Chain A
Amino acid sequence: MTRALVVRAQHGDAEAFAELIEDHYDLIHRTAWKWCGNRADAEDIAQDVCVKLGGAIASFDGRSVFSSWVYRITLNAVRDMQRAGKRRGKYADAYAEVTPEDQPAEQEAAMTSRQLWAAVRALPEKQRDAVLLVHAEELSHAAAAEIMGIKEATVSFHVHEARKTLRGLL
């Protein structure tokens, strides 16, 4: 069904595209939330991704699963935003004094410790992506590899490296 929608959207069918992003919004938002850890950023990224999908759907080549492609775009958006965030550091400070840091979701707090999330989010990009895709999104190493555009073995390696980095916490 998704495949049919994609094809229709690529042919310019707005309704199909609407349905497509409607279907995938939750995935995008959830991923963005896991990667950033607060609502404001998650929503911004999700919107950003929807916009990007609108522009890029025509160039989706069907070689990977559509959801993998969406993951990839979402992760890129997260990365772009976090890089831009570093440049915007001075504004971010002013921003923080106005809004207290978003409360992490209760469910999240109940399920796992905040430190673990913080530590995972602080990992180098590749390691973080690998860990979150495999453990938070519960994807197979193969699927994670497809999303990250690397080999399966490399995913395992990144997860392994991440474990080493996190050893103190685990």
Chain B
Amino acid sequence: MSGDDMHDDPLNRLKGATPDPRADAKRRALAAGMAAFEASQKKSSSAAQGNDWGQRLTSIINSWKGKSIMDMRLPIGTAVIALLVLPLGYQLYSTTSMTPTDVAVQQPVQFEPPATEVAASEERAQSTVANTTPATVPKTVAAGRDQDLAAAPPEPAPMDDAMMDTEMAREAAPVVGGNSGIVAPQQAQSMAPAGALAESEAFYMPSPAPVPSVMLQPTAPSGDTFTSFDEQRLKAVADEPVSTFSIDVDTASYSYVRRQLEDGYVPEPDAVRIEELINYFPYDYPAAQSAAVPFKPTMAVYPTPWNPKTQLLQIGIKGYVPDAGEDKPSNLVFLIDTSGSMDEPDKLPLLKRAFGLLVDQLSANDTVSIVVYAGSAGVVLEPTMATEKARILGALDQLAAGGSTAGAAGIELAYRLAEQARVEGGTNRVILATDGDFNVGIDDPDDLESFIEAKRDSGTTLSVLGFGRGNLDDATMQALAQHGNGNASYISSFREAQKVLVEEIGGTLDMIAKDVKIQIEFNPAVISEYRLIGYKTRALNREDFNNDAVDAGDIGAGHTVTAIYEITPVGSGAEMIEPLRYGLESATGSGDEIAFLRMRYKLPESDVSQLIEQKVTPDLVYGDIGEVSDDMRFAAAVAAFGQKLKGSNYGSAMGWDDIEALARSGKGSDESGYRSEFIQLVDAASLLKPDTGTDPCGVSASGEGCE
């Protein structure tokens, strides 16, 4: 610094820390940087045609002409240094703790000694460890144990030891090699990836005998984020006779799970929301007759396929389907993410075709506008009559992903256009399409949600379509769509786009009832315990049911919603919860009714809820699962599949074969082919996560559900 710095220079107050960058912003930025880097690499390698130096080939000598030492882009000295540094750098890189964990994880897997040798190498390891590096090893073991515990809490103690031992064997292997000079770096290297190591072994160890190679990578390598949640617990009717939840017509979870399984990964447990799996499939429940009472419940009680002593209570609802002649006007604003990460075949290009499909469904009284954010920002298409398809498709076609994320007021702009083209008595909706970048202009999630809520209350709703994988922010997607009274869907393929935007377009756009809540009260004289399958993220408090201010799920035209309870009849012997010794004599329920169903909903234009009530009586009970409708059997199979895939505490004992057989028996005519596809998915899952027999979650690396 030069002389003008004084002792207490006020400008020195400018020193100081700034807040740390947020991890997800950093991750995004790095990913965008990598994408740009790779793009430029591609460009430069394709540009290399003809002349390596990127110059016009004039003469061999010419390329040196006119370059003074000062101007040389790559001075010879640098080139020489590069030649020296490159191998040296690689050497350092591959032998020190600089080695990234993924490299380290693969190595141990290759070196995995055959089962029979484990004992031997263990012994060797322990003796060498004791002899040569007594000071460092205990530390490693301690770290290893911590990691093991963290990675596989439910594992019994002996297994823990086995893992530790192999871990030790591996640590010690280089020591056995003899060269004590390299002990330190090796030690450091194996310390660093210990977590990953332990994790890879958590599912490796239970069956040291040959293991199919697919099992080496069963969890998704994704950067996708999901809201984590626990399963619905079993509840005693005596303690909590009433169960309340909001309906959910989203299907994003199923599309995501299907994609993961098809690609050979077991989806992470939090990605599996059983209710969304069940609701993905169309069921043929009788529809309501009029728009005034837009749906009616269909119920049945039948034996549980995975537990002979309990029963399933299934509640199905199908939304009213307006006559084809009724064409409500819609005003749609596509809010499209064009950040660099969207530049993949299954993102922006798929999105364009998907919206093309949607535009084809619209008619003369519909309008479409397009706003983009991130990368390029602003209005791409002012509100345009849907009949001007050429213009709309042209505008869609011009969208290009690229560049960085400009924090433009994307969402604000989209809502402004929606206001501008507002239609009364029709659908006003913003459809947000993204792969996970939600920096739509409001970066605080709470602000964003309350903004969306405010707009929802003034009549503009929001749907979210998720694309791609690796960056998908499922949690935010769900939250936004729920606050915006819209749906969240995951578009994994053109076929899925067709399902969501063509076949179910009515349900997607035409809301027939909002804030639909379901409350079941069980009769303690008949039912002792119950458990709602799925809907954990949709649970409501008992008092929320009659409170019209509490938001809940919405149902579109023709949507079907299915909820399944597993119920334990009194005296069946399947009770898991000990009855209270000093509890009240609780058999106060009236008669032989099983339960009582209450549903509340609001008509789209109304703020006052309506009530539907229905008894669950013994005449709804079927003695054999073969007697219920195909739909019911199929839904039960999907529920069993979801529970098993999640590694749930409940129902995991049912084998994949049984699930598949049950699904087959419930396949019905399956005109759309979704059910056949599901059956194939069960097959795929059975390969990725084979039945183990004894330990329901032994092979799963993701054993969270098995505490």
Contact = CB atoms under 8 A, between A and B. Distances in A.
Nearest to B77: A62
22 contacts: A1-B89, A7-B78, A7-B81, A7-B85, A17-B37, A25-B26, A29-B25, A33-B19, A46-B25, A48-B404, A51-B32, A51-B33, A54-B32, A58-B40, A58-B44, A61-B74, A99-B444, A105-B18, A107-B19, A135-B12, A141-B1, A160-B4
B30 interface: yes
Interface string B441-453: 1111001000100
A58 B48 CA distance: 14
Contacts of B4: 156, 159-160, 163
A43 B409 contact: no
Interface string A123-146: 000000001101110101100000
Contact of A135 (B15, B409, B413): B15
Contacts of A30: 18, 21
Interface string A33-68: 110000111111011111111111110011000000
B679 to A, nearest CB: 40
Contacts of B36: 50-55
Contacts of A136: 14-16
B442 A18 contact: no
Given A14-B34, A33-B19, A39 B40 contact: no
Contacts of B16: 107-108, 111-112, 136
Interface of A: 1, 3-5, 7-9, 11-12, 14-15, 17-18, 21-22, 25-26, 29-30, 33-34, 39-44, 46-58, 61-62, 84, 88, 91-92, 94-95, 98-99, 105, 107-108, 111-113, 116-117, 120, 131-132, 134-136, 138, 140-141, 156, 159-160, 163, 166, 169-170
B412 interface: yes
Given A98-B409, A107-B17, A47 B32 contact: yes
A112 B13 contact: yes
A164 B39 CA distance: 47
Contacts of B34: 14, 17-18, 21, 54
A56 B44 CA distance: 11
Interface in B1-24: 1-2, 4, 9-22
Contact of A4 (B9, B30, B89): B89
B425 interface: no
Contacts of B21: 25-26, 29-30, 42-43, 46
Closest 6 CB pairs of A and B: A50-B33, A54-B36, A54-B37, A111-B16, A47-B29, A4-B89
Interface string B30-54: 1011111111110011000000000
B435 to A, nearest CB: 15
B409 A94 contact: yes
A40 B444 CA distance: 10
Contacts, number: 204
Interface residues of B, number: 63
Interface in B90-117: 100
Nearest to A144: B1
B412 A12 contact: no
Contacts of A84: 406
A55 B40 contact: yes
A9 B41 CA distance: 10
Contact of A51 (B1, B18, B41, B404): B404
A98 B408 contact: no
B88 interface: yes
Contact of B441 (A1, A98, A159, A169): A98
B73 interface: yes
A117 B10 CA distance: 11
A138 B443 CA distance: 31
A46 B14 contact: no
B407 interface: yes
Contact of B19 (A14, A39, A47, A163): A39
Contact of B412 (A7, A95, A156): A95
A160 to B, nearest CB: 6
Contacts of A1: 89
A43 B14 contact: no
A55 B14 contact: no
B124 interface: no
Contacts of A138: 15
Nearest to B12: A135
B29 A141 contact: no
Contacts of A12: 41, 44-45
Nearest to A139: B1
A43 B24 CA distance: 10
A98 B14 contact: no
Main secondary structure of the interface of A (DSSP, over half): helix
Contacts of A134: 1
B309 interface: no
Interface string B385-420: 000000000000000000111111100110010000
Contact of B443 (A39, A49, A140): A39
B14 A141 contact: no
B28 interface: yes
B54 to A, nearest CB: 10
Contact of A132 (B14, B25, B26): B14
A53 to B, nearest CB: 6
B383 interface: no
B587 interface: no
Given A14-B38, A99-B444, A116-B14, A43 B73 contact: no
Given A4-B85, A54-B38, A91 B15 contact: no
Nearest to B83: A7
Given A14-B34, A50-B30, A50-B32, A116 B408 contact: no
Contact of B18 (A52, A53, A108): A108
Given A46-B29, A116-B10, 19 more contacts: A7-B78, A9-B37, A12-B45, A17-B33, A21-B30, A25-B30, A34-B18, A40-B443, A44-B405, A44-B406, A47-B405, A51-B33, A51-B35, A88-B408, A99-B441, A108-B19, A116-B13, A163-B4, A169-B10
B82 interface: yes
B182 interface: no
Contacts of B451: 98
A62 B37 contact: no
Contact of A55 (B29, B37, B405, B439): B37
Interface string B59-89: 0000000000000011100100110011011
Nearest to B26: A25
A94 B33 contact: no
A73 to B, nearest CB: 12
Contacts of B13: 111-113, 116
B569 interface: no
A131 B403 CA distance: 30
B690 to A, nearest CB: 35
Given A43-B29, A51-B403, A95 B441 contact: yes
